[in-house]
Structure 1
Amino acid sequence: MLLDVIEHGPKDGTNTLPPVVFLHGLFGRARNFGFFQRRLAANRRILALDLRNHGSSPHGPMDYPAMAADVRETLAAHDALPATVIGHSMGGKVAMMLALQSPACVHALLVADIAPAQGGHAHSGAIASGLAGLHFPPTLTLSEADAWLAPVIAEKPVRDMMKQNIVLGANPHWQIGLGQIVAGMAQVVGWPTLPPGMQYDGPVLFVAGGASPYVKPRDYPLMRQLFPHYRLVRLKGAGHWLHAEQPWEFLRVVEEFLRVTG
């Protein structure tokens, strides 16, 4: 499945650095990484992808092997392999799966606030089920959408993100594949059983929010088994949405990772 792509940076072929690819989390979209794309695009290609059932990409059944295959196919079509892949939350799991299934496609890997483990999206699963029970009115404006979503989503920042996924106006509807997301939540929350010996030997950085519970000490053994050269840093005071809560600090970490890995 070819995914929708937003690209910044030089396209004339003179740049020899590996492209950088951003993968968003559940209910996110490529344009959420616009700040980072603009800041990093001076000397290399920076691509952000809408994962399946998100943004402007096609819809289909959700599991991590299929989503990783989407990313590989899309980057190949854009002549953007191998790439440094940066994924947040669900996008981090997609990035990890891509590195494990197709290590030659991944120059380096940065995973933001998620582990290769069960969990990490339980709250989002409840939101998905609640959203599926909502019925659109005949028309819907941006301000009306906030009140329409409030019974299901208490946090305004999450409502603001979710409003990006609605086609407003007359006959409003979801742009995202909400039905497929709800049907695939067990796969999104989970982590598949992998063949023995599967691992990615390249450079890996896990960046966890200091106030987030999503990367736990119990996850470290599997992280080491799958990614023997991984490092872990925590952003003090940041929660799960660390790149939105502390964009400059997250940018600093990304820039340093790119400097070290090339």
Structure 2
Amino acid sequence: MESERQVTSPGKPTVSRQLAQKVTPADLRFDQESSTAVISSAQKFIIPVPAFNKGGEPLVYPEGHERARQQILDYQGKPVGKRGLVFLNAKDQSWQAVQGDGQGVIIINEVTQDQAEMLHKKVQEFQENSNDLTLDQLKKVLDYARSQLKLNDMYNSTRSFIKSKMSPVTAGERPHVNGEKIEAFGLMKRDDRDVCQAVFVPGSFVFEGPAATPQVFENGGVIVKQGEDVRGVQPEVFVRTYKFKDGRPVTSPAKDLKAQGD
């Protein structure tokens, strides 16, 4: 872990945060002795990212970023792809990038049934089938989620992850178009048997994980590993969306979870 780092806020110049540390998945241990077993209890709205015409927009850092117009790299320094969609996770102050090849999805976290219905209606204002959304239409749906529904916690994943790890909140319920089920779309939840390992990292730090830019944590954060997927979660969000694997609530990540880091 690095002890100091220049932290970039979305759309703003780079600012210096003294003693902010950089954390990567390689810095942490997720074995049973070093981490805490938890399960997710959050409802999430899934939007499939279509195979866009010409693949979508270039996956480059946006204007205002210190690497504006340069290709987006993952924490290992590898390009995340050539074209698709770049969008903001305002909760973590990080940019996300998803390829426009028809294999990706956008997950919107902590969505109520009412919000899900409004999101579904918004999608259908543009297309009956969410897989037919254009790049511009999908951006408008995400803008609606942020500005009108105040849903700021959103990130990318894959359709294969949704198929293997998530199911509709209402059993057996999937959106249909002309009698055909639309996969990876709508209000879903994680499988209660799907155990993750969580680590609390104290202090101010940035997490260089799957997001296009580091996730920013001002007062500690939780890093969750599920399979090969590792992602940071804000402490207040973690309390609402995760619980111990035996069903008990997590009331304080700093006290209830095993910690690593300074």
* Bin of the TM-score, shorter chain as denominator length: under 0.3
Q: Which has the higher contact order (CA 8 A, sep 6+)?
A: 2
TM-score (normalizing by structure 1)? 0.26
Larger relative helix fraction = 1
TM-score (norm 2): 0.26
